[in-house]
Amino acid sequence: MTTFRKWRFPILIGSGILAAAGLIYFANGRVNSGKTQGAIGNRDVYRDGTVDAATVGATPGSAPVAMQAILDSKEFKELAKNPAFSSLMHNQGFQELGRHEGFARLLSDASFAQMSQSHGFLELMQDAQFRKALEATHVDALSAASHNQVKSESHTLNSQTQALRIDESHLTKSQTQELGRFNSNFAAFNQDLRFRAIARDQAFFNLLNNATFRQMSQSHAFLNMLSASSFQAMMRESTFRGLVSQDRFRDALLSGSAAQLSQNLARQ
Tens digit of pLDDT for each residue in 151-201?
Answer: 443 444 443 344 455 555 566 777 677 777 777 888 899 889 999 999 888
Q: Say yes or no to pLDDT of 215 above 70.
A: yes
- For residues 41 and 239, which has the higher predicted lDDT (pLDDT)? 239
pLDDT category, 244, cuts 50, 70, 90? very high
Mean pLDDT of all residues belonging to the chain: 75
Domain hosting residue 200, numbered range: 66-267
- Alpha-carbon distance values, 224 to 65, 92, 198, 217 (Å): 33, 12, 21, 10
Q: How many domains does the chain fold into?
A: 2
The confidence score (pLDDT) of residue 145 equals 47
Are residues 208 and 133 part of one domain? yes
In a domain, 57, yes or no: no
Are residues 90 and 12 part of one domain? no
Are residues 120 and 21 part of one domain? no
In a domain, 59, yes or no: no
pLDDT category, 59, cuts 50, 70, 90? very low
Tell me how far the alpha carbon of residue 119 is from its chain's centroid: 26
- For residues 224 and 160, which has the higher predicted lDDT (pLDDT)? 224
- State the SS3 of 151-205: CHHHCEECCCCCCEECCHHHCCHHHHHHHHHHHHHCHHHCCCHHHHHHCCCHHHH
The confidence score (pLDDT) of residue 154 equals 40
Are residues 148 and 27 part of one domain? no
Are residues 75 and 40 part of one domain? no
Q: Say yes or no to pLDDT of 231 above 60.
A: yes
Give the CA angle between residues 229, 234, 239 to the nearest 5°: 165
The confidence score (pLDDT) of residue 268 equals 58
φ/ψ region of 228 (left if φ > 0, alpha if ψ in -120 to 50, else beta) reads: beta
The model's pLDDT over 117-149, given as tens digits with 9 standing for 90+, comes to 999 999 999 999 999 988 887 665 455 543 344
- For residues 40 and 266, which has the higher predicted lDDT (pLDDT)? 266
Are residues 259 and 139 part of one domain? yes
E strand segments, the chain: 156-157, 164-165
Are residues 183 and 117 part of one domain? yes
Are residues 6 and 31 part of one domain? yes
pLDDT category, 62, cuts 50, 70, 90? very low
The pTM score is: 0.64
Are residues 32 and 153 part of one domain? no
In a domain, 61, yes or no: no
Q: Say yes or no to pLDDT of 24 above 80.
A: no
In a domain, 139, yes or no: yes
Q: Say yes or no to pLDDT of 107 above 70.
A: yes
Are residues 131 and 77 part of one domain? yes
Are residues 71 and 44 part of one domain? no
Are residues 185 and 140 part of one domain? yes
